[in-house]
Amino acid sequence: MKKSGLLNSNVSRIVASMGHTDWLVVSDAGFPCPLDVERIDLAVTANVPEFLPVLRTILGDLCIERVILASEIADFSPARLKEIAALVEPLAVELVPHLEFKKLSQRARAVIRTGDFTPYSNVILQSGVPYT
């Protein structure tokens, strides 16, 4: 058994298979997963698991170079926006309208669905490389 990091075998598999510029979505409980994108559903009940611990754990294993959020998060969940920005620092967060975010998510390798009920707690992570 793994001692730390990503323990969920499906999440670990996706992160390990990511290549440079591949996209991964981490979402709240209500995000509409595109039909042709793999869904890894971690949701158990309202706010279990929460979005931030799942995102934090994924960021511990995945090298990222780009972060995209729905612009509506600034109005509906400004505290969550600040929390996400702090987690991905020094990268800048890109904001796009939610409808565009949903279209972009169709390009993702997978959507990892949490049980979080905080509005617009959805992020697209673009995989980077740990070398330059």
Six token digits for residue 105: 């998510």
39 burial via Cβ count (<10 Å: 0-12, 13-18, 19+): middle
Looking at 13, 20, 56, 82, which residue is catalytic? Answer: 20
Residue 119 CA to residue 29 CA, distance in Å, equals: 9
- C-alpha torsion angle, residues 106, 108, 110, 113 (rounded to 10): -70
Catalytic status, residue 20? yes
Six token digits for residue 52: 């931030």
H-helix segments, the chain: 9-17, 51-61, 73-76, 78-88, 98-104
Catalytic residues: 20
